[in-house]
Amino acid sequence: MRVVPVPVRSDNYAYLVVDESTKEAAVVDPYDMDAVDAAASREGVKIVANLTTHHHHDHSGGNKEFAKRYPGAPIYGGSEQGHATTVLKDGESFVVSKELNINPLATPCHTQDHICYHVTDPKSSNAVFTGDTLFLGGCGRFFEGTANQMIAALEKLGSLPDETVVYNGHEYTAGNLKFSETIAPNSTGTKRLRELVTNNKITTGKSTIKDEKDWNVFMRLTSPDVLTSTNATAETSKEQVMSTLRELKNKL
């Protein structure tokens, strides 16, 4: 498996997920089909499927054009709102091309139809495409859900193998670092995240689930520094800590 990030709009990412054994690819959130097709041409791959994370236009807005250019290719998603032709259930695994094993993870909160895609291949490669649920050092806004739903979503992602590489929907890492520096300025995780941002203009694909559990404050709800910064104690519910963190981030 090989992953090719395709920058679209000002800060979004689409992705080509390539089966190297066949040179066929699934595309994640192909908002800009011209950019996606140009990337596929450069990489010498044939697009055979569409993995849509959620219905927001900056992620699913290219799906009608995708259907025109690739008639018969499945458009997977969590609801028909994003023009999915195959609506997925949590854990309803399937295979794209020959070796791309796709496990859809329902992560309702940012939107109720949000799906993250855990992709593996026989060579033990692990990747997860997290859309607007998990960002490097952050998480998505709770547009259609609750703090408890985001907790459940991040815990589900956190249960994936530590070496799973994270590919998120936006280049938000620099902003997430600024927030982390207000919540956990002295943590080793924040220091590592600062190094990542300093050394990389594009950060997607340079983090793992293990990294996120180390530096993402939204995945460290019981850590002393997070509790202190949210005026919480060890007895405070995770729901309250998550709600406070999100409110603070929204104001930053």
Residues known to be catalytic: 54, 56, 58-59, 110, 132, 170
Q: What are the backbone dihedrals phi and psi of residue 152, each rounded to the nearest 5 degrees, phi first? A: -65, -40
b vs e for 48-75, b when ≥16 Cβ sit within 10 Å of the residue's Cβ? bbbbbbbbbebbbbbbebbeeebeebbb
DSSP E strands: which ranges in 38-196? 46-51, 75-77, 86-87, 94-96, 100-106, 115-120, 126-131, 134-135, 138-139, 165-168
Asked if residue 113 lies in contact with residue 149, where contact means CB atoms within 8 angstroms, the answer is no
Tokens of 49: 């499927």
For tokens 């949210």, what's the residue? 230
State how far the Cα of 235 lies from the Cα of 227, in Å rounded to an integer: 10
Q: How far apart are CA 5 and CA 67, in angstroms?
A: 21
CB 151 within 8 A of CB 183: no
